[in-house]
Amino acid sequence: MNRFLSSPWTKVAVFLLSLVPLGVLLWLGYQASASDDPTQYVTANPVEYITHYTGDWTIRFICFTLCITPLRMLLNRPQITRFRRMLGLFAFFYGCLHFTVWVVLDPRQNTISAIWEDIVKRRYITVGMLALLAMLPLAITSTAGWVRRLGFKRWKQLHRLIYLTAIAAVIHYWWLVKSDIRLPLMYAAIVTVLLGYRLIVWMRERRRKTAVRTSQPTVSAN
């Protein structure tokens, strides 16, 4: 297993698999443009379909990224962490696609003022922008060079923004759908489990450190 996880070909495979959703979307778009009935491929509202499709994959890649730490701990496979940056960058990539589709293809977003008005007045768009903006510093500082510049401790603290991103993305989806909340509820449950696991690990580690400090003998000053 360690050899498989450490192989450069495994990383290439993960990269190619991460591009599959984009490939499927392009194929659906091509088939819809060549078909007499495009609704068979992208529904009667193609802009809404593409927006939801890219949004779904953004949340999925956020969840994939959050899965790395629990899998590393539970399976005791530190090599898994080498895929975290790639998955996080793909979450940002699909998030940018999601935003671009909304801005470029949605006919309501025809001016900067209209875009800003939607961001301010529609709460689901406001929190969606928060999720995207929270991913921006994570994407910028994802390289090893930025780890050296910031120092690992500060870099790690900064990258906890992924927690804010995940929560904001789920709320964005929940407020967007309004009635059928089954999918947002599923993502909310997944994010709750992934963040809850981290909280439990952090609390156990804190108790362990406290127990170690209290058990250490006091040195006399004589």
d(Cα 122, Cα 112) in Å, to the nearest integer? Answer: 15
Helix (H, G, I), strand (E, B) or coil at 189: helix
Structural domain boundaries, residue 127: 45-74+83-204
Q: Is the pLDDT of residue 44 over 60?
A: yes
State the average pLDDT over residues 91-111.
86
Cβ neighbors of 57 (< 8 A, separation 6 or more) are 21, 94
pTM, two decimal places: 0.90
Within-domain flag for 29: no
Q: Which of 4-13, 37-46, 93-102, 210-219 has the highest mean pLDDT?
A: 93-102
**106, exposed or middle or buried, with CB in 10 Å at 0-12, 13-18, 19+?**
middle
- Indicate whether 165 belongs to any domain: yes
Q: Is residue 11 part of a domain?
A: no
Residue 108 included in any domain: yes
Quick check: is 30 in a domain?
Answer: no
Instruction: Judge whether 221 lies within some domain.
Output: no
Report helix angle 46-75 to 8-34, nearest 10.
160
For the chain, what is the radius of gyration of the CA atoms?
Answer: 21
pLDDT digits (tens, 9 = 90+) for 134-174: 999 999 999 989 999 999 999 999 999 999 999 999 999 99
**Domains contained in the chain, number:** 1
DSSP-assigned letters across all residues of 81-128: GGGHHHHHHHHHHHHHHHHHHHHHT-TT--SHHHHHHHHHH-HHHHHH
- Does residue 125 form part of some domain? yes
Domain assignment present for 153: yes
- Between 21 and 43, where is the model more confident? 21
Q: Both tokens of residue 153?
A: 């401790």
pLDDT exceeds 70 at position 220: no
Say which DSSP state 160 is in. T
Encode burial over 177-212: b for 16+ CB neighbours within 10 A, e otherwise.
Answer: eeeeeeebeebbebbeebeebeeeeeeeeeeeeeee
